[in-house]
Each structure stands twice: as C-alpha cells, then as structure tokens.
Amino acid sequence: MLSILIPCYNYDVTALVEELLKQLETLNDQVEIIVLDDGKHSYNTVNKKLSDDEQLTYLQNKTNLGRTKSRQTLAEAAQFDNLLFLDADVLPVQPQFLQKYLDKLSEDFGLIYGGNSYQYKLIDNSKRLHYKFGKHREVRKLEERLKNPYLNFTSQNFIIKKSVFFSLNTNQTNKYGYDLVFSFKLKQQKIKVLQIDNPVLHLGLNHNQAFLDKSLQAVTNLVEFERKAEISMTHTRLQKAYKTLTDYKLAKFFNTIIDIIKPILERNLKSSKPKLIALDLMKLQHYISLRSKDL
C-alpha cells in the first residue's frame, strides 16, 4: 500500500528508520521501507545494517548521482503505487505520522504534502542562517499553505502517486533548487495537491557560509532552468521582484547599490544574528547580474 523511500548521502539514517519501524508496529497496512545510499560515504556500513529488518530494503549507488536520480531509482524499486519520500535528515513530529498519511490514501490526490518544522531553539550560531531561513521561510501553517499549495512545498516529506512522479521527474541532473521546477510542473500539469498538517523535523543544517553559497547557487540554477524553459519567469517571489524592478527601470540602480554594500551584507549573513532581508538582497542582486546577460 505504501512505499517509504529515503535517499541518503553521508548521513546516519538510523534514527529516522527506527522511528518509522516503531510506528509500523501498531499498523496493519502493507508498508515497505527502502533506503538508498548515494555513493560511498562514512555511514554506508551503519545504514546497511538496518536491512536486517525484513521490512527494509537497502540499496547503494556505486557513485554519487544526486538526490533527483536517487529518487528515480527508489521509485523504480518500489512495489506500491503510493510513494512517501523522506529526506534522511528529518524525523516525524507526531507519533501518528504514518497513520495520518495512510488515512489520506483513499482520497483523490496526485501529491500530499505534510509540511516541515525546525527545532524550537538552536544553540549553534554557526548554523543560524539556515535555521532562521527554514523557520521563517519554509515552515508554513496549514492555513497559509492552502493559499498557494504549489509554491508552499518542499520535497523533504511528501506522498506522490508513482505515475505522477515519473511524469514530473524527467530531468534527473543533480541541481540544487530543483524543488522549484518540481512545484512548477505540479502546477503546470494541474496535479491535485493535498496539503495536510503532518510535519517532519528538519535536523540537517548547513553552516552559514555553506548555506549562503547554496542559496546563491540555487539562484544560478533558477536562471538555467528559465533558459531551458523548465520553469516560468514569474513562478517565484524572487522572479516577481525582478520584474517589478525592471518595469520601473530600477534593476541597474539596485544592482549598483547592492554591489557597494555587499561586504556588509556578507558579514551579517555569516554572523550569529543574520538578517533574512540581507539574504534576499544578495539573491536578488545575483539574479539581476545573471539575467543582465540575457538583455
């Protein structure tokens, strides 16, 4: 009835699997768990030991292929039509996590998104930027997610019909930020998205510099997705902000100002008290610089 699919790279997935197996003890439904280690890394041995449980299958890519390709491999290996994708660095928030999803399988849907959450308090200031972004930009109450079910989606925790997944997961290149393309395709194909309150706790946080680098790389990839017509020019808030600036002929002026204050913004984002507006300005300036090459 349900295939739980967990792509993993350089992460100990034991805590997640043990919690899932614990919840399965109280259920009578047919459920399988498949863990796929993406290439060789430090946790291959410990993750492989989890396959001692008859409900879990362990797979391993010979080389690092990326999360998108790994998900394709997992979907092809799944025996059931309902696919629950979970990132390796999450934990279910509620003890009825699986039951809540199973209760929704009889409804009409293409994808079900349960949401995500972050720990109440973070002690490690070196990861403050990722924590703050996740808590204030990714976490959305159900009422807010319902207003824009396609854009308010991240791929850490969702159920999707196998046929729908294969129709959407056509580009399997390893590009950070591909969730935006995935959500755009959901909207473009008018896939019915069911938003519910069934979050996971996101544990794997990047250090400030690494998260800043990834955020800017995601902007670079977004422009590449645009050039390949994999996403519209107005799908995200960032793209809409750029359009507003260009409509008022302010993009060049904005770019010049941010160039001047960029060192200040970067220092703030690497500090223990990063401001998300500084990240927004950096991303928009990077986007403008990339898009100016198309003009």
DSSP for 155-190 reads: TTEEEEEHHHHHHH-------TTTHHHHHHHHHHTT
| 3-state helix vs strand vs coil in the chain, percent to 5 | 50, 15, 35
Q: Judge contact between 154 and 85, C-beta under 8 A.
A: no
- Count how many domains the chain has: 2
Tell me, yes or no, whether 186 and 99 share the same domain. Answer: yes
Tell me, yes or no, whether 177 and 245 share the same domain. Answer: no
Please name the amino acid found at residue 166. F
Tell me, yes or no, whether 216 and 88 share the same domain. Answer: no
Query: Where is the domain boundary, 161, 181, 202?
Result: 202
Tell me, yes or no, whether 257 and 171 share the same domain. Answer: no
Query: Where is the domain boundary, 184, 202, 220?
Result: 202
**Can you tell me the distance from the alpha carbon of 28 to that of 44, in angstroms, rounded to the nearest whole number?**
30
Whichever domain contains 28, its CATH number is 3.90.550.10
Residue 178: predicted pLDDT: 86
Tell me, yes or no, whether 229 and 190 share the same domain. Answer: no
Q: Judge contact between 62 and 39, C-beta under 8 A.
A: yes
Tell me, yes or no, whether 18 and 122 share the same domain. Answer: yes
In which order are the strands placed within the sheet that holds 200-202? 90-92, 200-202, 116-117
Q: Judge contact between 110 and 160, C-beta under 8 A.
A: yes
**How does DSSP classify residue 147?**
T
Residue 295: predicted pLDDT: 53
Tell me, yes or no, whether 215 and 194 share the same domain. Answer: no
Tell me, yes or no, whether 44 and 10 share the same domain. Answer: yes
Residue 294: predicted pLDDT: 65
Domain containing residue 285:
208-294
Tell me, yes or no, whether 172 and 216 share the same domain. Answer: no
Tell me, yes or no, whether 100 and 213 share the same domain. Answer: no
Q: Judge contact between 76 and 90, C-beta under 8 A.
A: no
Cβ-defined contacts of 214-220 (< 8 Å, 24+): 214/176, 215/133, 215/279, 215/282, 215/283, 216/282, 216/283, 216/286, 217/176, 217/177, 218/176, 218/177, 219/177, 219/283, 219/286, 219/287, 219/290, 220/286, 220/290
Tell me, yes or no, whether 56 and 174 share the same domain. Answer: yes
Q: Name the CA radius of gyration of the chain, rounded.
A: 20
The pTM of this model reads 0.94
**Can you tell me the distance from the alpha carbon of 178 to that of 155, in angstroms, rounded to the nearest whole number?**
10
Residue 171: predicted pLDDT: 75
Tell me, yes or no, whether 10 and 146 share the same domain. Answer: yes
Query: How would you write the pLDDT of the chain (295 residues) with one tens digit per residue?
Result: 999 999 999 999 999 999 999 999 999 899 999 999 999 988 999 999 999 989 999 999 999 988 899 999 999 999 999 999 999 999 999 999 999 999 999 999 999 999 999 987 888 999 999 999 999 999 999 999 999 999 889 999 999 999 999 999 987 777 888 889 999 999 999 999 999 999 999 999 999 999 999 999 999 999 999 999 999 999 999 999 999 999 999 999 999 999 999 999 999 999 999 999 999 999 999 999 999 876 5
Query: Where is the domain boundary, 133, 167, 202?
Result: 202
